[in-house]
Structure 1
């Protein structure tokens, strides 16, 4: 299930790392996004492994679009849900403010046809 949401970065939390039982190193980092809805919500996203690098150069207050998956797993009879981000696109000024149409000028009006133009008609 791939989803996406637009909003502003509210917080970038500290990175975490460790070693799994299998002896593999892991790292993760979370960030909070405030959505752009009538009633904004805050959502905490998780980035795992190399995806942590997507946060490089990202600051709180920036507008982004986050693509993510929702995943749940069971542990000791309890269920835990993660919102795993896998892509972060920064909003550009062009997306937020489309270019206005060109200004109207008097030269844009075509000239009116003269009397000799009526004689050119084929009927």
Structure 2
């Protein structure tokens, strides 16, 4: 299930590559909802780290993310894993192919002259 949050970028970390070949990059977004601002850490992994390349602290963004959880040595950890970013008044930035609206083109191939 995907979630969205909107806020201002506070910090963008440099990419981290581990011995296993796993790469991640983290970003902190300040969300001004509620009584106190919340500083939310989101991580982007593997090919999604490039989504952060053209962003700067201070920009307002909406991040779409999934919640990931795991157990390690009897302790439980959660991560917010981002996979789409859209800046205020711009279209989303993602590696996903564009979604086609409406029926496929072959449906329109009929004998109507207009």
TM-score by length of 1: 0.68
Alignment of 1:105-116 (within 5 A): none
Q: Does 1:46 align with 2:57?
A: no
Residues 58-90 of structure 1, C-alpha deviations (whole Å, 9 max, x = no match): 000000000001111001111111010010101
Structure 1: which 5+ runs fail to align? 94-123
- Residue 98 (structure 1) aligns with: none
| Alpha-carbon distance between aligned partners in 2 of 1:86 and 1:18, rounded to the nearest angstrom | 20
The DSSP-based 3-state class of the residue aligned with 1:37 is coil
**1:56, distance to aligned residue in structure 2 (A):** 1.0
- Residue 70 (structure 2) aligns with: 73
- Residue 57 (structure 1) aligns with: 54
**Which structure is larger by alpha-carbon Rg, 1 or 2?**
1
- Residue 102 (structure 1) aligns with: none
The DSSP-based 3-state class of the residue aligned with 2:84 is strand
- Residue 31 (structure 2) aligns with: 35
| Alpha-carbon distance between aligned partners in 2 of 1:83 and 1:62, rounded to the nearest angstrom | 20
Aligned length: 89
- Residue 8 (structure 1) aligns with: 8
In terms of mean alpha carbon deviation, does 31-40 or 57-66 score higher?
Answer: 31-40
The DSSP-based 3-state class of the residue aligned with 1:19 is coil
From the two aligned structures, give the one with the greater helix fraction: 1
| Alpha-carbon distance between aligned partners in 1 of 2:57 and 2:40, rounded to the nearest angstrom | 14
Structure 2: which 5+ runs fail to align? 91-114
- Residue 83 (structure 1) aligns with: 80
| Alpha-carbon distance between aligned partners in 2 of 1:13 and 1:79, rounded to the nearest angstrom | 24
